[in-house]
Chain A
Amino acid sequence: MSLWEYANPQKFMQLSRRVLPFVAAASVLCLLGGLAWGFFGTPDDYKQGSTVKIIYLHVPAAMMAINAWVMMLAASLVWLIRRHHVSALAAKAAAPVGLTFTLIALATGALWGQPMWGTWWAWDPRLTSFLILALFYLGYMALWQAVDDPDTAADLTGVLCIVGSVFALLSRYAVNFWNQGLHQGASLSLDKEENVADVFWFPLLVCIAGFVLLFLTLVLLRTRTEIRSRRLNALLARERMG
């Protein structure tokens, strides 16, 4: 059995119908469990006080904002190279989810930054590249809406996705590239010295799993809707032609 079999819309619909309830249930469990554990079951940080509880939303959302774009890039490349419609529709389905995660990262970052840095916003490399990533998400979604022919829209958005990947990568590595600005380096690291303390790390891992599963749930759900929408448009066009 090959992965490419799932490029067939019918096969994708069959598989996603079976998988979706389990992924959705797991995402609700991990998200609610992880957030409750982080909010109610962890102490305040000795430096940041209770604002450390924002980490359970900010870090997973920021991580997924970048990874959603990487997933869209992979799906767009599959479309551009192999012309599989499901991959183009999956990229389209992922964009609003990625935008929501980017907005969560920006909003929680501002709310966290105000008491810690004394400002809601700074033109810091990481913050600025995240704002540009949010604008790329908006542009990507607008381009899908602006072009009538779905194949042309998939081509153009695929190219936009490749260009936007530069900013997705910059968002991830901006702190390392420029080594300036207010934003700290990575919170998650294999280096024990750099990584957050275990008491925050374990609930954070559960929240990250929750965000990954939520992304998967929403992308599956929305891709199914996009496939149906494509079939609906084809049937309506056939009706109009008589």
Chain B
Amino acid sequence: MIPDLGKYADAVLGSYAASLGLITALVAWSLWRGARIRRTLAEVEARAAKAKEAKRNV
């Protein structure tokens, strides 16, 4: 399926591999960090709500 790239195959395929690799790494890092902070924030917000509730019941 890959077109005949002739003597420049390394340069062309290398460019696509490097670019797609960098983009994939950036997207994966952004999604991972987003999910981690969302999860931690939910935990801290739940803790804060519980502490507020406990203070009100005292």
Q: Give Cα A50–Cα B6 distance, bound, in whole angstroms.
A: 7
Q: Give Cα A236–Cα B43 distance, bound, in whole angstroms.
A: 11
Q: Given the interface contacts A100-B23, A224-B34, A228-B41, does A114 sit within 8 Å of B11 by beta carbon? A: yes
Which listed residue, B6, B16, B34, B45, touches A49 by the CB 8 Å rule? B6
A229 touches B37 (CB 8 A): yes
In the complex, which residues of chain A have a beta carbon less than 8 angstroms from the beta carbon of B29? 96
Encode contact with B along A183-211: 1 for CB under 8 Å, 0 otherwise: 00000000000000000000000000000
B11 touches A111 (CB 8 A): yes
Which listed residue, B12, B18, B27, B40, touches A232 by the CB 8 Å rule? B40
List residues 66-119 of chain A with CB under 8 A from any CB of chain B: 96-97, 100, 103-104, 107-108, 111-112, 114-115
Q: Give Cα A50–Cα B4 distance, bound, in whole angstroms.
A: 8
Q: Given the interface contacts A100-B23, A108-B15, A111-B15, does A51 sit within 8 Å of B8 by beta carbon? A: yes
B22 touches A103 (CB 8 A): yes
Q: Does B38 contact A (CB under 8 A)?
A: yes
In the complex, which residues of chain A have a beta carbon less than 8 angstroms from the beta carbon of B19? 57, 61, 104, 107-108
In the complex, which residues of chain B have a beta carbon less than 8 angstroms from the beta carbon of A224? 34
Contact residue range for chain B?
Answer: 20 to 34
In the complex, which residues of chain B have a beta carbon less than 8 angstroms from the beta carbon of A51? 8, 11-12
Contact residue range for chain A?
Answer: 35 or more
In the complex, which residues of chain B have a beta carbon less than 8 angstroms from the beta carbon of A61? 19
**Shortest distance in angstroms between B45's beta carbon and chain A's nearest beta carbon?**
7
Q: Does A175 contact B (CB under 8 A)?
A: no
Q: Give Cα A94–Cα B11 distance, bound, in whole angstroms.
A: 29
Q: Does B44 contact A (CB under 8 A)?
A: yes
Which listed residue, B15, B40, B41, B44, touches A107 by the CB 8 Å rule? B15
Q: Does A239 contact B (CB under 8 A)?
A: yes
A57 touches B15 (CB 8 A): yes
Query: Which of B9, B26, B33, B48 has most chain A Cβ within 10 Å?
Result: B26
A40 touches B3 (CB 8 A): yes
Encode contact with A along B36-58: 1 for CB under 8 Å, 0 otherwise: 01101100110110000000000
Q: Does A238 contact B (CB under 8 A)?
A: yes
Which listed residue, A111, A214, A221, A229, touches B23 by the CB 8 Å rule? A214
Q: Give Cα A112–Cα B11 distance, bound, in whole angstroms.
A: 6
In the complex, which residues of chain B have a beta carbon less than 8 angstroms from the beta carbon of A108? 15, 18-19
